[in-house]
Amino acid sequence: MISKTFLSKIPIFKFLPEEDHLSLVSLWKVKTLKAGEVLFRKGDPGSAMYVVEEGEIEILLPVDPPVNEVQLSVLKEGEFFGELSLFADTPRTATARALEETRMVEMQRGDFITFVMERPSVGISMLSEMAKRLQLTNDLITSLASKNPNEEIEEDLSMGDRVSDKIAEFGGSWPFIFSFGGFMFIWITLNTVQAVSQPFDEYPFILLNLMLSTVAALQAPVIMMSQNRAQKKDRLKADLDYQVNVKSELMLQQLHKKIDHLLEEDILHLKRDLDALKAAAPAPKKRAKKR
């Protein structure tokens, strides 16, 4: 069951005195869910706050096909959700579903309202804390979701990773080709033209072949390391693009709702104005029939 020590860790309750924590403990009731069972869906009326005691609850946001659902978070033991429903009868903003057999406790809004009405100072303190949390949420929503994958990767690179990237970058450039070609030309020339000096690596250039094999053996894993990081960067970029697309879709849905709401209000105002004009207009006179 919920203890006063745990209540003191919940942001909206932590500033309450100890005697109020003792009173709140008695308001919670046990609720169990089976694996896959939905606690509530987006749009359902909210009437309770929940705290997970055992198991896991996933918070989902329904979206259009082919994705259908986006997992926002997974709540585990000791975490809480639905606290906004204690203050207002607003629809749920997401769907909550049990990932496994879950045991939780809930507090109904009616019990909470009765508790707050007996202690007005408690309600003011809790509303102040809720305002801070809403401000943080607004800052998070208005912040940009897009990030630079290059900066994200650069932050985690070690010295070996940077060296391998430099080697791979140089090994795939024209300066490397020209310098390597020049080295090969000088080596072969020195070992074929005996007028200059005695050859130190006679044909078929066994020492040169050994050096080339060693360089190829070392260069291959270094290049593969760099390619793996390039693939990781591509995956990170794809994930960031997906987050931006989801956020853009959600913002567009909110924008459509606001526009539809404004259009409905305009239509209602226009209808009222027309009704007022009809009521104020004089009734048309009936013409007498000629005999």
List, in order, residues 6 or more apart from 106 with CB less than 8 Å away.
Answer: 28, 29, 31, 48, 49, 50, 51
Q: Using an 8 Å Cβ cutoff, are 94 and 60 in contact?
A: yes
Burial readout 133-160 (b: 16 or more C-beta within 10 A, e: otherwise): eeeeeeeeeeeeeeeebeeebeeeeeee
* 122 or 220: which leads in pLDDT: 220
Note the pLDDT tens digit of each residue in 252-270.
776 777 787 788 877 887 8
Confidence of residue 144 (pLDDT cuts 50, 70, 90): very low
Give the residue extent of every domain in the chain.
Answer: 4-142, 149-275
Distance CA(204)–CA(60), nearest Å, equals 68
pLDDT at 145 over 80: no
Could you tell me the end-to-end alpha-carbon distance of the chain, in angstroms, rounded to an integer?
94
Note the pLDDT tens digit of each residue in 10-30.
766 776 777 777 777 788 888
Distance CA(18)–CA(139), nearest Å, equals 32
Q: Using an 8 Å Cβ cutoff, are 35 and 101 in contact?
A: yes
* 69 or 138: which leads in pLDDT: 69
Note the pLDDT tens digit of each residue in 84-116.
787 777 788 888 999 999 999 888 888 888 888
pLDDT of residue 22: 75
| DSSP code string of 6-53 | HHTTSTTTTTS-HHHHHHHHTT-EEEEE-TT-EEE-TTSBP-EEEEEE
Average pLDDT rounded to a whole number, residues 178-198: 79
pLDDT at 64 over 60: yes
Share of the chain above pLDDT 90, in %: 5
Element (H, E) at 245: helix 206-280
Tell which CATH classification among 2.40.50.100, 2.60.120.10, 3.10.20.30, 3.90.180.10 matches the domain 4-142. Answer: 2.60.120.10
Distance CA(97)–CA(234), nearest Å, equals 32
User: Of the segments 33-37, 241-245, 247-251, 285-289, which one has the largest average pLDDT value?
Assistant: 33-37
Share of the chain above pLDDT 70, in %: 78
Distance CA(170)–CA(163), nearest Å, equals 11
Distance CA(243)–CA(160), nearest Å, equals 31
pLDDT of residue 141: 55
* 214 or 162: which leads in pLDDT: 214
- Cα atoms in the Cβ-side hemisphere of radius 13 Å centred on 101: 0
pLDDT of residue 153: 65
Average pLDDT rounded to a whole number, residues 55-74: 77
List, in order, residues 6 or more apart from 32 with CB less than 8 Å away.
Answer: 101, 102, 103, 104
Note the pLDDT tens digit of each residue in 28-49.
888 999 999 999 988 888 888 8
List, in order, residues 6 or more apart from 178 with CB less than 8 Å away.
Answer: none
Mean pLDDT rounded to a whole number for the chain? 77
Report field, pTM of the whole predicted structure over 0.75: no
**The CA-based dihedral angle spanning residues 251, 257, 261, 262, taken in that order and rounded to the nearest 10 degrees:** 40
- Tell me the C-alpha to C-alpha distance, in Å, between residue 66 and each of 62, 63, 241: 11, 9, 17
